[in-house]
Amino acid sequence: MKLSYYLSWLLLFAFVSMQGQDLKQSIYFESADDQLKTAEIQVLDDFLKALPSNWSSYDFLLVGHTDNIGDAAYNQKLSQNRCKTIKDYLLEKGFAANQIAYEGKGYETPTASNETSEGKAKNRRVELITLKRGSFSEAPFQVPTEQVEFKAEEGLNYIYGRSGTVIRIPKDALVYADGSPVKGNVDFSYREFRDAADFIATDIPMLYDHQHQFESAGMFEMNASQAGKEVFVKKDAYVDVDFNLTNDNLEGVGFFEYQDNEWSNLGALDRVTQENTFEVNNPCKSIYRYKMPPIQDTFQTFLNAMNAGYQLSQEANFEQFYRLGFNTLQERFEDIHYTETAYLHYNEEKIDWNAVAESNEAMGVQFRCNTNYKQLDPRMHYINLPDGLSMEFAKTNLMQRLPEMKALVKRKWMVLPKGKQRPLPRVKALQLLENQYMDLRVNYLGDNNFQFILKGIGVYDTLVAQPVFTSEEKKNKAAVSESLIKQYQLKFAKRSKQFDEKIAFYEANWKYFLAFSKSIMPIEEQCKGISNWLRYFGDNQHIMGPRYYAYTGLGGNQALLKPLMAKAVNGTPIRLQNFDLTPPPSTLQRLKLDGFGVFNCDALRRLGPERITVEAEFLASDGSLIDAKVINVIDYSINSVLRLTNTSEISYNPEKQTTIVIVDYFGDAYSIATAELERNYNKKNKTFILKAIPIEGENTNAIRGAIAQQ
């Protein structure tokens, strides 16, 4: 069988790579039993602890054996179950499923005579063979790659014969990693993946964001190198690809890039204007991530979001909105962690107290008081001076920004009023008047008594004061007091309304502002991540104001903005390009890429609402279990392959024509017919037992032929 061939070279490979380390460990079982004994668990643990490297450095091949009690089928199953027991134990220890392969041998290869009980005990074993990580096969075949040589100074015009796709690399467009120009001959490699057989052979995952599969309109891979050294596309240059879609009828086709073992959505294809410019191989794209919320009135949402960006660029303390949320004016005052517009929040890891001291001088509420008052006997608990304590407001920047305080700050106040209000302790009164505060509110208590609520950093203080009336005002104190509070309330209500409306507008458009911002920012800004970029946004008003104004429609350019809006909605960077080339035929899709790699023109779909997930086992023609490394679920209703690496389960839609192709750890491929899936589904089997048919052949045509017969 295949094991003997693989085992021989794997053992040799392991012997070289392990440098003298014991290559295998035998784990023994009781007769007719597939469960680990306590003593054998200790043996297994000791073996794993003795490995010289981290566990992630290894793969393990488990080979199960039995004695000769019972028939061949029984012992074959028993040997496999013993392997599965150890595999499950290794998984519990933290090993990955794709690190462990197994095969049961039954009683075919005894290590001792089965004529004695001692010999039988030695044969009831699983051999755990240690291999270098990555020893197991990833895919049965590979889609062939075409190689072309061209001079960097002359550029390349290449046609892929299988589909008619055209690739153009301009002259002098390539550079080395250090940015210096490439000269001389360059090796260009290209291949396309156009159907299920191609996708299976690539072993590239066909799953996006852990839940969506690709309804593929074609995938391609292109690379360039010189003498084995990777070369790149220089800044402001592009590779033109006229790609032949496999399905020209798909709606909402997006452009995806495979990088660092995951897919990322670079944006939707504009199949009308053919202005498809994508920045690929972007090391920052995983840093700035903000998902676009649902949109109803798309164009108006776009304009509102950009208008919010323009207005935010005028905000002196823009970052407060991100840090503290979108509190109304009153909510801000009630939040003890927040002080005025220079946000100071206790949820922050660190408060810049130097900035606090500086802002106090400019924005703090400051008072003046009768200096003689401080010389009074400090032992006095209450102050009963006939004239009380004189208080004046200082003319600070904050006072100028509070129009409701205009009439109040012009007056002198008596902190200890005569009347019903109980006076403050002298020490407390002095403390209040000498402190500095960042915000305040005023209430009227009646009888000419005004309550001042003073807000500092993390504290509230309250004092009650009366205005110092002139001789004329003393004739009608109540009217003067009521006039003062009415002016205050009207002006405060106006300021509060304006502020709250502005905050509501920002809050309604904040997420769209973040999402659309990515489509108009340079790559280097995406590298900053959202938090750092927002700080950068606030610190560069001279850059952000003009940038966002151009997309607000305020300049009368709404007609020009509509096609850009469509790109921005789909996350495509807005880069107006002048396409000098003749538009490609309708069957081709024009792409401009600033780098090489693996790309996919696809629409994301799921298997549908009828999708189910069930446990599954795969059986070879001799009834033995196949240890699958990869499961490929083919949906014939769309050109789609869903690749699963949790090989104990399959996803399946009983309403669709589905075939499965599995690949085991030795690189052998098997197909599972649609009828097999239907039979298990109709029987309502909790675990699908699926008969697998070997795929014979040495290229992707073998897979293509096998699945075409289903």
Structure tokens at 147: 């190689």
Q: Are 74 and 128 found together in one domain?
A: yes
Mean pLDDT of 201-220: 80
pLDDT digits 0-9 by tens, 104-123: 889 988 999 999 999 999 99
pLDDT digits 0-9 by tens, 277-330: 888 887 776 667 777 788 888 899 999 999 999 999 998 777 777 777 888 999
The answer as to whether 558 is a domain residue is yes
pLDDT digits 0-9 by tens, 663-694: 888 778 899 988 999 999 999 998 999 999 99
Query: Residue 649 belongs to what domain range?
Result: 608-708
Mean pLDDT of 7-20: 43
Residue 241 has pLDDT above 70, yes or no: yes
Q: Are 298 and 232 found together in one domain?
A: no
Q: How confident is the model at residue 268 (pLDDT cuts 50, 70, 90)?
A: confident
CATH number of the domain encompassing residue 89: 3.30.1330.60
Q: Are 93 and 37 found together in one domain?
A: yes
Q: Are 552 and 489 found together in one domain?
A: yes
For position 349, what pLDDT does the model report? 47
CATH number of the domain encompassing residue 657: 2.60.40
Q: Are 590 and 614 found together in one domain?
A: no
Domains in the chain: how many in total? Answer: 5
The runs of H, that is alpha helices, within 114-195 are: 117-123
Q: Are 423 and 480 found together in one domain?
A: no
Q: Are 267 and 245 found together in one domain?
A: yes
For position 14, what pLDDT does the model report? 42
Most confident region among 150-164, 348-362, 619-633 by mean pLDDT: 150-164
**Sheet containing 693-694: order of strands:** 640-644, 628-635, 658-664, 669-672, 693-694
Q: 482 — alpha (psi -120 to 50), left (phi > 0) or beta?
A: alpha
Q: Are 206 and 225 found together in one domain?
A: yes
For position 262, what pLDDT does the model report? 84
For position 174, what pLDDT does the model report? 96
418, 437, 468 - which closes a domain: 468
468, 490, 506 - which closes a domain: 468
Residue 82 has pLDDT above 90, yes or no: yes
449, 468, 487 - which closes a domain: 468
3-state SS track over 553-565:
CCCCCHHHHHHHH
Residue 429 has pLDDT above 90, yes or no: no
The answer as to whether 341 is a domain residue is no
The answer as to whether 655 is a domain residue is yes
Q: Are 194 and 303 found together in one domain?
A: no
202/707 Cα distance (integer angstroms):
16
Q: Determine which of 354-358, 676-680, 697-701 has the lowest per-residue pLDDT on average.
A: 354-358
How far does Cα 565 stand from its chain's mean position?
23
The answer as to whether 325 is a domain residue is no
In Å, how far are 1, 661, 665 from 648, measured between CA atoms? 24, 14, 14
For position 382, what pLDDT does the model report? 45
Q: Are 108 and 152 found together in one domain?
A: no
| Burial class of 43 by CB neighbour count within 10 A (0 to 12, 13 to 18, 19+) | middle
The answer as to whether 356 is a domain residue is no
Mean pLDDT of 193-205: 83
Q: How confident is the model at residue 160 (pLDDT cuts 50, 70, 90)?
A: very high
pLDDT digits 0-9 by tens, 46-59: 999 888 778 888 88
Mean pLDDT of the chain: 82
Q: Are 494 and 427 found together in one domain?
A: no
The answer as to whether 578 is a domain residue is no
Is residue 676 classed as helix, strand or coil in its secondary structure? Answer: helix
pLDDT digits 0-9 by tens, 445-497: 998 999 999 887 667 888 888 898 999 999 999 999 999 999 999 999 999 99
| Burial class of 106 by CB neighbour count within 10 A (0 to 12, 13 to 18, 19+) | buried
The answer as to whether 284 is a domain residue is no
With a threshold of 0.75, does the pTM exceed it?
no
Mean pLDDT of 228-246: 92
Mean pLDDT of 249-270: 85
The answer as to whether 345 is a domain residue is no
Q: Are 492 and 448 found together in one domain?
A: no
Please name the residues in contact with 332: beta carbons below 8 A apart, sequence gap of 6 or more. Answer: 324, 338
Could you tell me what percent of the chain has a pLDDT over 90? 36
Mean pLDDT of 404-421: 75
Structure tokens at 572: 């495509």
Residue 353 has pLDDT above 70, yes or no: no
